[in-house]
Structure 1
Amino acid sequence: MNAVPRARVWRGDALARSTARSHVGRVRRINEDRVFDWPDGGVWAVIDGMGGHRGGDVAAQTVVEALRGLQAGADSVLAALADANARIHARNAAEGEQAGATVVALGLDDGRATIAWAGDSRCYRWRDGALELLTRDHSVVQELVDAGLLTADGAARHPQANVITRALGVDATCDVETRVADYRAGDRFLLCSDGLSRSLVDGDVTDAPIEALADDLLARALANDGSDNISLMLVDPGG
């Protein structure tokens, strides 16, 4: 895990703009994804619940509620995610369920972007026309790619492509990974669940107006796949 200073409640640039989309997709009956949008605090997140009728949507909502606690003075995003992990894990034990949630959270503070994630929900930074993945999936296929046993192209078609190795609520504790990156005027961040990332290609993210781009990304994901819930958050940090 990349070391970062102990996280505080991030205070965002007042110029930051964001928009989110979340869709059940063309196959699923329940949307287990959630999005969290708190521009005044400089915090955004996409959460992908796991468990279907066994509580994936409840797990994802639990993460949202924990992040909302930041507005009441919680110490940090990492503390909020640890709280969500404990609450989901306790509910699983009480209800005999195996629900969980992947998460990716973004905090912006004075030119510094802090990303925290668990699972295969992703954060990208778009800069000067190029899209860069800032997170690394916690998944079986990513481990195979890292070991040189699988190519990146082959990972998407692998029969274990959806098997993740880390998520909130599955165990008593969850090692949330963090990374710090810079941002500047003209950059754009994309947070998304795997329902979007599995069909995302270079050129999909542009400098189009943020609302129009969000609509376009959702439409492309539905047309290209749509077999899973699809959620995305676009954040323009401003100057």
Structure 2
Amino acid sequence: MLKTASLTDVGRVRTVNEDRMLVQESLNGFVLAIVADGMGGHQAGDVASQMAVDLIRSELQTIPQGASVTERKSRLQAAIEMANETIFQFASERENYHGMGTTVVAVLADEQSVVIGHIGDSRAYKVDAAGMGQLTEDHSLVNELVKNGQITREEAGHHPRRNVLTRALGTEATIEVDTADWVWTSGEVLLLCSDGLSGLVSSDQMLALINTGDALDEKAKLLVDAALDAGGDDNITVILVSNIVEPDLADDHADGEKR
């Protein structure tokens, strides 16, 4: 069974939270989770991120129960592309919203597999017995510089242009959506977050907090608190999806005791 926890915080510096998140735990047998981190002046960022979340969610409501991984990827990609087109058109018709956009990372998960679609630098991570691995690749200037060998991964974290995106939702008429899928098993945890977390808290620290014995809601709070303690210079959003190991009831009752 899948369990979820989510939390968002405006941070210590910003006055408006332009992050948006959504968790729908029962969508025809799937969990839908979305994080969007908006950008743009005149509060356009929060308009873009809210539109992205609402549009993607609405488009996926008719996904059939038992949809294959291939169909889920296709539907998720189409939903994100539709959201991009709608946001771009909305912004182009309104002077105050010109140039607005948002990141998005969205997943459709069941107990066997996870499908992901993303644009921008909001991230998905997988936590398992082997540690923590990033499942998405940032569409950002500093990531391109790292890949080209012009700066190190450590330098990227402090680069003055680390917030510059090379791809965002709603800023162009058409967009390329990155999609991926993987099989997961009981005991693994999925983390979705905005860069308000990943930009301030190291993977090692996130792993340590997720591996605490606390309830899932408390793990989410620990992650947000860690970003706040590190300065909280951006909005912070966290979604955790846990593939819970169900106890074997037959074993529990083997001794005849009622529990």
1:212-223 equivalence runs, <5 A? 212-223=218-229
- Contact 1:31/1:57 (<8 A) preserved: yes
The one-letter code sitting in structure 1 at the alignment partner of 2:80 is L
d(CA) in 2 for partners of 1:199, 1:131: 16
Q: CA deviation at 1:130?
A: 1.3
Cα distance, 1:70 vs structure 2: 3.8
**Is 1:28 the equivalent of 2:14?**
yes
- Report the AA paired with residue 156 of structure 1: G
Structure 1 vs Structure 2 CA RMSD: 1.5
The AA in structure 2 aligned to 1:120 is D
The yes-or-no answer on 1:68 pairing with 2:69 is no
Report the more deviating stretch, 146-155 or 45-54.
Answer: 45-54
Which digits, 9 at most, give the CA deviation of each residue in 1:171-224, with x for residues without a partner? 001111011122111000100000011122202321432011011111111110
Q: What residue number does 2:210 align with?
A: 205
Rounded Cα–Cα distance in structure 1 between residues aligned with 2:145 and 2:15? 32
Contact 1:32 1:52 in 2 (8 A): no
Q: CA deviation at 1:162?
A: 0.6
Mapped contact 1:44–1:106 kept (Cα < 8 A): yes
Alignment-derived partner of residue 229 in structure 1: 235
- 1:124 is matched with which residue? 125
Q: For residues 1-239 of structure 1, what are the structure 2 equivalents within 5 Å? A: 15-41=1-27, 42-70=31-59, 72-73=61-62, 76-96=75-95, 97-128=98-129, 130-201=131-202, 202=204, 203-207=208-212, 208-239=214-245
CA distance in 2, matches of 1:48, 1:76: 22
Aligned to 1:12: none
Letter aligned with residue 182 of structure 1: V
Aligned length: 225
Q: Secondary structure at the match of 2:5?
A: strand
How far, CA to CA, are the matches of 1:195 and 1:53 in structure 2? Answer: 20
Q: How far apart are the structure 2 equivalents of 1:111 and 1:211?
A: 23
1:62 and 1:46, CA in 2 relative to 1: closer, same or farther beyond 3 A? same
TM-score by length of structure 1 reads: 0.89
For 2:3, the aligned partner's letter is R
State the alpha-carbon separation in 1 of the partners of residues 61 and 226 from structure 2: 37
Partners of 1:118 and 1:57 in 2: how far apart? 16
Q: How far apart are the structure 2 equivalents of 1:65 and 1:109?
A: 21
Q: Secondary structure at the match of 2:210?
A: coil
| Residues 72 and 127 of structure 1: CA distance in aligned 2, closer, same or farther (over 3 Å) | closer
Distance 1:116 1:52 in 2: 26
SS at match of 2:163: coil
How far residue 107 of structure 1 moved from its aligned partner, in angstroms, is 1.6
Deviations 1:78-116 (A, max 9, x none): 222112111110111111211001011112135221111
Q: Deviations over 1:3-36 (max 9, x none)?
A: xxxxxxxxxxxx2111111111111111110001
Which secondary structure does the structure 1 equivalent of 2:14 belong to?
coil
Distance in 1, Cα, partners of 2:153 & 2:35: 23
Asked if the contact 2:125/2:191 (under 8 Å) is kept, the reply is yes
**Matches of 1:52 and 1:226, distance apart in 2:** 20
Matching residue's letter, 1:37: V
Of residues 192-201 and 128-137 in structure 1, the stretch that sits farther from structure 2 once superposed is: 128-137
Q: Which runs of 5+ in 1 are unaligned?
A: 1-14
Deviates more, 1:107-116 or 1:136-145: 107-116
Structure 1 residues 145, 195: CA separation in 2 closer, same or farther (over 3 Å shift)?
A: same
Amino acid at match of 1:218: V
